[in-house]
Structure 1
Amino acid sequence: MKHLKFSFYVCLFVTSILSAQTKEITLEDIWKYGTFRTQYLDALHSMANGRQYSVLNFDRETRSTSIDIYDYKTLKKVKTLVTSANLDQIPYFTDYTFSKDEEKVILATNEEAVYRRSALGNYFIYDIKSGDLTLIDEGKIQEPTFSPDGTKMAFVKQNNIYVFDLNNGESTQVTSDGKKNEIINGITDWVYEEEFAFVRAFDWNADSNKIAFIRFDETEVPEFSMDIYGSELYQTQQVFKYPKAGEANSKVSLHIYDLESGNINDVKVDKAYTDFYIPRIKWTKKPNVLSAQYMNRHQNELDLWLIDAKTNTSKLVLAETDDAYVDVTDNLTFLKDNSFIWTSEKDGFNHIYHYDENGTLINQVTKGHWEVTDYYGYDADNNTIFYQSTENGSINRDVYSIKLNGRNKERLTKSEGTNSAAFSADFSYFINTFSSATTPPEYTLNSASSGNVIKSIKDNDELSQKLSNYKTSEKEFSTINVNGNDLNMWMIKPVDFDENKEYPLLMYQYSGPGSQEVANHWNSANDYWHQYLAQQGYIVACVDGRGTGFKGAEFKKVTQKELGKYEVEDQIAAAKKLGDLPYVDKNRMGIWGWSFGGFMSSNALFKGSDVFKMAIAVAPVSSWRFYDTIYTERYMTTPQENPTGYDENSPINHVNKLKGDFLLVHGSADDNVHLQNTMRLAEALIQADKQFDWAVYPDKNHGIYGGNTRLHLYKKMTHFINENLGDKIKKEEEKALEQVKIKG
């Protein structure tokens, strides 16, 4: 047998801790009791004075919420700014937003989810000096946002934009054509929200006298409907606009509302776009100059426009193109001189660039074979940029500072793992959140100039102590060479692992473009489940194959027009290599995944029928023809242009190859990956006369949660794994083999 050589990074537990581990993790610990819940800082906001920060706290005794102010230097609570215990109209609030001068704050209550990122709610304005509480609107509204001068508030109600005047308490309706499933003003449609990751599609200018907004005309977008079964005698239907790959998108247009004149001007840019997106809008430092990013439908061209609101003229300042696609950036930052900071992977890795106001490159600020993964801001007083990157290894994250000219780069965080920062308003401090595979999240106050830890704010030592009583295994990080690439991998083995024994192997992956599952950070709920499986005698492994992120554009974009081809090849090849390990039973290997991971696990079982004995697919895409335009066409172009790319990698078209055991799971109210995917895959399996197990969770969305749902789901998956990979299967196979020998 061949042996693999692994280079381990970190994650060895101390022997004394291991010896103390006696308790076993239960599924109820993970999904019912919240045994391993971590402590965290909620809704952290740095106050404008640079000396204090605020946090949303919940008092379990009074069942009330509060905004509490803390001092950076002492970390002591200075005061409670507001508590719902003193507000008759609000028993609790779930979020807050300050005005720019921090004299007023929006309090959110009665929030109800619309889709993944959007919510409807009742919102109040609390005046910090007077203590007055003002309801913005009697109905439920979306995205209330202060004007920069703090005198007005813009929000969206029933697809129309309104402006609320804080001085007289009156609202002005800005648009009037909003209508469900037809016209949306100032709020994104379903596909923009899901794939461009934003909801508020309006923005105030610096002088608080103009609002730019995007209008979505959904009239020609096909409708999708889902039955909602509920508890009544008849089910209801949720009907919404959902553009599947190759179908009509919303027609988007950009507009500017002038509060002084009451006029709405249509924005025209000097380019004839036909089928396009507007994924970002943002006012510059100049109150009459708006920036807008326009993108073609293929998403391989991204244009940055500057629009003069006075003259309604436009100037193209930056145009990026790529053979595959261009990522939309959230890091556009305008400086006082209206030069701007921009992130791009045009040199093959995501880096920071500085351009003048005309779009001429001043300099590339960061460079190297590593990725900038977050941009924290620019300190104008010290001419310094703060960012997060993978320079210390693609599975790690560190916080860095660098001068605008690209000099004097400094690593500010010292611990190896995942570090992220929340900076004070004046960039003198940052609160660092650190975790690794062996250290639960801990929050520290750090100096922004040196990175040195000043004080600990919050840790999860109690959780660490609690876990020391449980049987947990180290998560071993390594690389595995597959198809000519060194792929990141982690592996969890049973605590009493014996290299002279053979163990069943379960592989987990997601594998979507730019994603990462092999990362040096603290446990997710799935990690605890994988630990539970290790307790039952399984080895669990995860490999990030080609197409995943943080190893450069070439590695990520190799899957272009062929989603599910190279990624599946890597999972199958990795499984074969792992199956050659002396302690892995190659006859008992399975794979599972959720969403894109469910698409992958289905394909891996079908195409790798000689490798995998079983697979679990939760909420899988079964054909990219069923998924939305923005995500799918970014990587696949349209089905009309690329039919073979869609069909040759669709699990539906490979069901005849199924030999192993297959569990298919979906939520009936999944607005993202529709139940249609599972129904069509199930029908294909039935017509191919292939036996399989499946479960549909009533009225559950893509996350399949609520009440007892997650516990039920993971019990089902655990039972399926035990039935098809467990020791009972091995004994039955050994018995059958023995019978064959006797007969022979």
Structure 2
Amino acid sequence: MALALRFLVIALLISISAVSQSDLSVKKIMQDPNWMGTFPSSVEWNEQSNTIYFDYNPEQNVSDSLYKIRLSNPSNIEKVSLEEQKAKVSPYGDYNDKRTQKLFVKSGDLYLHDVKKNRTVLVLDLGESIQSPKFISDSEYAFISNNNLYIYNVKQGQIQKKTNIESGSANDKESKKSEKNRWVEDENLSLLEEVRVQKKNSELRDENRKLLDDESYTFYLDKQRAFSFDISETGNYLTFQTYTPDSPDNTMVPNYVDASGYTEPLNTRSKVGDQDSPGDLYLYHIQKDTVFKIDTSNLPGITELPKYTEDYPDRDWEENQRPVTFSEVKFSPNDQKAVLSMRAQDNKDRWISLLNLNDGSFEVLDRQHDEAWIAGPGISNYYGGGTLGWLADDKHIYYQSEATGYSHLYLHDVEANQQKQLTKGNFEVFNPQLSMDKKSWFFSSSEVHPGERHFYKMPVMGGTKTQLTSMEGKNTVILSPDEKHMAILFSNSNSPEELFLKKTKASATAKRLTSGQSKAFSAYDWRTPELIQFEAEDGAKPYARLYKPKESVDKNAAVIFVHGAGYLQNAHKWWSSYFREYMFHNLLTDLGYTVLDIDYRGSAGYGRDWRTGIYRHMGGKDLSDQVDGAKYLIENHGVNPEKIGIYGGSYGGFITLMAMFNEADTFAAGAALRSVTDWAHYNHGYTSNILNEPHLDPKAYRQSSPIYFAEGLEGDLLIAHGVIDTNVHFQDVVRLSQRLIELEKENWEMAVYPVEGHGFTQPSSWTDEYRRILELFEDTIGK
């Protein structure tokens, strides 16, 4: 009997030891990331396609330095000297037709690089900043300076100003004079004859100069400012956009730990509803010496009311013209046509349009409408046009559209006004680019699996795709300028990015160039989380990462992690941007917790319907996906329904609050980090897409903001926030804490971090925050 008791005690001790054992700790995980090793980033090629540059840090310095690998000796990683860095050609600029020369700007000056000779020369130093360089021919270079188009003739050594765009108005100087100043000038002129003569002579000289200039046209910006200049292929046309500076009601974030010793305010963003001022687009016709303003009043559907207005029948809605934002203007190779993308500022419409270069009128080629909001890969840039351009035939344009529910690549015959879809299927296309000879496409896609990214080549008019990468995970390809080699940043789910080299052939073998993991990092057996799907209440099947503990330490408890950003993908097969959380999940699993990391509704990578599943109700399907994930764990993995916790940061913090306030029967504990508590206090660009504007659609904001549901808190809640967070302001959790105090809630606490913004930077802050998260789960669901 005593022997049996002894064996029982030993078994219990072994069990207890197993539960608490892990080679990881919060402090180890949250230390400076340099402990993990050094990993390449910001990869680019030199112009000769024989050297790869990248940021690297093998010396474990405060920040990365520039390194290179020569194709002639790919096993040797060299640090780039300061002299070579200064001489390095900018990755941005314009090539001539044969791609033997490149114009680029550095420090406001214009340079020319000879690709074959690998030689760079200074072309122009005007003392004024040069922008947007462009080849007109091998001997003529166009550029923008001080809001105007200039053409430099290399052979003649002459610079010609082609436009005359001026700030202010024609009568600016007179209009700015006060009544007192005008009186002083008039008195001075009446008293002093010589001054009157000089002023008269000056006015005559100005009139004669205008006559000599053939009374050239001047476009006055008045109170607007010009930006986004696009020069046509021949330099005969220039487009530019304007905006009127305004003063939105920005929020002041107090910095209590400023180096001065005083509380210094940080001037940050305004709140949703403070929309950017509508801008205008102009076409400068050089030969006609005049400017046309692009009139958007005839865009189809420009005055249509969105459907959400039907929820407010007592409000008088007027069908006004919606403000529009413009993409860059893309000119055809022969300079006879131009195309651009126009978007309603409420992001419910996008129009791809052909611009008439004779008078500034346009023809709409494609209208994409979405009652939620227009976005998706290749079309998600609010101020840009995303994927848009011309084929070499001067007849077809290309763009991306979510018309089928997934972002795909399209061609459009502008003469016949016919559209052709080049890629098809339940997957998305990323970053398409034309080959040098304009006969093929290169692009990445998720065709193999939503959690993988591969690189493809396809004929320009569509057809059979050739998959050029094969490693399972994420293959980020940087193609060499001569297109003969691919530099590949590759990672899988349990190993950070490393650099590989491969010939641009499907049959070629990828050669690994870097091995940056430290011994300390490699010593731990990092898990490859199982990528699973479960069924949600509406029949949808979210993807998720599942971490399962060993049976011997299983606590029958679970933690659900909610990724931030909303529109972000984390249930995939590559190294997560949430690498600290990934390591923390390994620690939790060691300690006996099951961990689930869900790509809930609103996440990226799954098409339009998934992206817009949260429209007008954040905390709706994105929250029910967490609840259904918890049910999946209970039914399939033996998790105790009373031992489930949830945590996340930013959008994940918001979902955590909604879970703790609205799903108390599911979640016993939660940690909400840097969380939005009231969407009416977040920024405009992100929030207005999903919830419209608070004064126009208050129902959407009230059903989406945690502060309205705080009375539902029953479980244990940790709130953590950086005081100088200029993204989700500290004010968010201050207002929520007052609400919890007024509701007399007792089971919550708040940790504040005085020197931290939205993304923590100090290991001590990370350690303190995640120590508190671990203690929360250990003291509640972990018992």
TM-score range, shorter chain: 0.7 to 0.9
| Aligned residues of 1:534 and 1:540 also touching (Cα < 8 A) | yes
Q: Are 1:342 and 2:399 counterparts? A: yes
Rounded Cα–Cα distance in structure 1 between residues aligned with 2:661 and 2:427: 35
> Number of aligned pairs?
660
| Aligned residues of 1:511 and 1:567 also touching (Cα < 8 A) | no
Rounded Cα–Cα distance in structure 1 between residues aligned with 2:752 and 2:145: 38
- Corresponding residue SS for 2:251: strand
Rounded Cα–Cα distance in structure 2 between residues aligned with 1:607 and 1:169: 68
Rounded Cα–Cα distance in structure 2 between residues aligned with 1:31 and 1:136: 47
Q: Aligned to 2:665, which of 604, 610, 615?
A: 610
Rounded Cα–Cα distance in structure 2 between residues aligned with 1:392 and 1:96: 31
| Aligned residues of 2:272 and 2:688 also touching (Cα < 8 A) | no
- Corresponding residue SS for 2:432: strand
- Residue 417 of structure 1 is matched in structure 2 by 473
Rounded Cα–Cα distance in structure 2 between residues aligned with 1:22 and 1:106: 53
Rounded Cα–Cα distance in structure 2 between residues aligned with 1:469 and 1:425: 39
Q: Are 1:628 and 2:683 counterparts? A: yes
Rounded Cα–Cα distance in structure 2 between residues aligned with 1:488 and 1:214: 42
Q: Aligned to 2:454, which of 395, 398, 407?
A: 398
- Residue 298 of structure 2 is matched in structure 1 by 271
Q: Are 1:146 and 2:133 counterparts? A: yes
Q: Are 1:492 and 2:479 counterparts? A: no
Structure 1 residues 649 and 453: alpha-carbon distance in aligned structure 2, compared to 1, 3 A threshold: same
Q: Aligned to 2:328, which of 278, 281, 284?
A: 281
Q: CA deviation at 1:682?
A: 2.1
| Aligned residues of 1:500 and 1:583 also touching (Cα < 8 A) | no
- Corresponding residue SS for 2:542: strand
Q: CA deviation at 1:332?
A: 1.4
Deviations 1:50-78 (A, max 9, x none): x4455256798899999888666875899
Structure 1 residues 456 and 649: alpha-carbon distance in aligned structure 2, compared to 1, 3 A threshold: same
Q: Aligned to 1:718, which of 767, 770, 774?
A: 770
Q: Aligned to 1:305, which of 328, 331, 353?
A: 353
- Corresponding residue SS for 1:376: strand
Rounded Cα–Cα distance in structure 2 between residues aligned with 1:263 and 1:79: 54
- Residue 477 of structure 1 is matched in structure 2 by 531
Q: How does 1:232-243 map to 2 (within 5 A)?
A: 232-239=260-267, 242=270
Structure 1 residues 316 and 516: alpha-carbon distance in aligned structure 2, compared to 1, 3 A threshold: same
| Aligned residues of 2:400 and 2:410 also touching (Cα < 8 A) | yes
Rounded Cα–Cα distance in structure 2 between residues aligned with 1:719 and 1:224: 31
Q: CA deviation at 1:565?
A: 0.8
Rounded Cα–Cα distance in structure 2 between residues aligned with 1:239 and 1:555: 35
Q: CA deviation at 1:571?
A: 0.7
| Aligned residues of 1:501 and 1:583 also touching (Cα < 8 A) | no
- Corresponding residue SS for 1:298: coil
| Aligned residues of 1:511 and 1:544 also touching (Cα < 8 A) | no
Q: CA deviation at 1:582?
A: 5.4
Rounded Cα–Cα distance in structure 1 between residues aligned with 2:544 and 2:434: 35
Q: Aligned to 1:515, which of 528, 552, 568?
A: 568
Structure 1 residues 40 and 154: alpha-carbon distance in aligned structure 2, compared to 1, 3 A threshold: farther
Structure 1 residues 75 and 258: alpha-carbon distance in aligned structure 2, compared to 1, 3 A threshold: farther
Q: How does 1:93-104 map to 2 (within 5 A)?
A: 97-100=92-95, 102=101
Structure 1 residues 673 and 177: alpha-carbon distance in aligned structure 2, compared to 1, 3 A threshold: farther
Rounded Cα–Cα distance in structure 2 between residues aligned with 1:59 and 1:37: 8
Q: CA deviation at 1:607?
A: 0.8
User: How many percent of aligned residue pairs carry the same amino acid?
Assistant: 20
| More displaced 10-residue stretch of structure 1: 594-603 or 542-551 | 542-551
Rounded Cα–Cα distance in structure 2 between residues aligned with 1:387 and 1:215: 33
Rounded Cα–Cα distance in structure 1 between residues aligned with 2:727 and 2:297: 35
- Corresponding residue SS for 1:690: coil
- Residue 357 of structure 1 is matched in structure 2 by 414
| Aligned residues of 2:711 and 2:743 also touching (Cα < 8 A) | yes
Rounded Cα–Cα distance in structure 2 between residues aligned with 1:447 and 1:491: 36
- Residue 53 of structure 2 is matched in structure 1 by 55
Q: CA deviation at 1:603?
A: 0.4
Rounded Cα–Cα distance in structure 1 between residues aligned with 2:124 and 2:723: 37
Structure 1 residues 670 and 254: alpha-carbon distance in aligned structure 2, compared to 1, 3 A threshold: farther
Q: CA deviation at 1:392?
A: 1.4
Rounded Cα–Cα distance in structure 1 between residues aligned with 2:742 and 2:589: 37
Deviations 1:676-706 (A, max 9, x none): 322322222222122432234346433232x
Structure 1 residues 312 and 173: alpha-carbon distance in aligned structure 2, compared to 1, 3 A threshold: closer
Rounded Cα–Cα distance in structure 2 between residues aligned with 1:255 and 1:236: 41
- Residue 425 of structure 2 is matched in structure 1 by 368
| Aligned residues of 1:300 and 1:321 also touching (Cα < 8 A) | yes
Structure 1 residues 68 and 465: alpha-carbon distance in aligned structure 2, compared to 1, 3 A threshold: closer
Q: Aligned to 2:753, which of 672, 678, 697?
A: 697
Q: How does 1:577-616 map to 2 (within 5 A)?
A: 577-580=632-635, 583-616=638-671
| Aligned residues of 2:53 and 2:67 also touching (Cα < 8 A) | yes
Deviations 1:202-254 (A, max 9, x none): 43433356553332224264333333442224434344663513x44312111
Rounded Cα–Cα distance in structure 2 between residues aligned with 1:86 and 1:391: 40
- Corresponding residue SS for 2:347: coil
Rounded Cα–Cα distance in structure 2 between residues aligned with 1:574 and 1:204: 53
Amino acid at match of 1:316: V
TM-score of the two chains, using structure 2 as the length reference: 0.73
Amino acid at match of 1:617: A
| Aligned residues of 1:53 and 1:424 also touching (Cα < 8 A) | no
Q: How does 1:234-253 map to 2 (within 5 A)?
A: 234-239=262-267, 242=270, 244-245=272-273, 247-253=274-280
- Residue 13 of structure 1 is matched in structure 2 by none
Q: Aligned to 1:254, which of 264, 281, 296?
A: 281
| Aligned residues of 1:36 and 1:463 also touching (Cα < 8 A) | yes
Structure 1 residues 177 and 510: alpha-carbon distance in aligned structure 2, compared to 1, 3 A threshold: farther
- Residue 306 of structure 2 is matched in structure 1 by none
Amino acid at match of 2:662: K
- Residue 15 of structure 1 is matched in structure 2 by none
Q: CA deviation at 1:262?
A: 8.8
| More displaced 10-residue stretch of structure 1: 529-538 or 630-639 | 529-538
CA-atom RMSD in angstroms = 4.2
Structure 1 residues 164 and 382: alpha-carbon distance in aligned structure 2, compared to 1, 3 A threshold: closer
Q: CA deviation at 1:726?
A: 0.8
Q: Aligned to 1:214, which of 230, 241, 244?
A: 241
TM-score of the two chains, using structure 1 as the length reference: 0.77
Rounded Cα–Cα distance in structure 2 between residues aligned with 1:678 and 1:570: 25
Amino acid at match of 2:502: N
- Corresponding residue SS for 1:451: coil
Rounded Cα–Cα distance in structure 1 between residues aligned with 2:476 and 2:584: 26
Rounded Cα–Cα distance in structure 1 between residues aligned with 2:654 and 2:224: 32
Amino acid at match of 1:55: Y
- Residue 700 of structure 2 is matched in structure 1 by 645
Rounded Cα–Cα distance in structure 1 between residues aligned with 2:755 and 2:81: 35
Rounded Cα–Cα distance in structure 2 between residues aligned with 1:298 and 1:64: 40
Rounded Cα–Cα distance in structure 2 between residues aligned with 1:459 and 1:76: 9
Structure 1 stretches lacking a partner, 5+ long? 1-20, 108-121, 188-200, 732-744
Q: CA deviation at 1:501?
A: 3.4
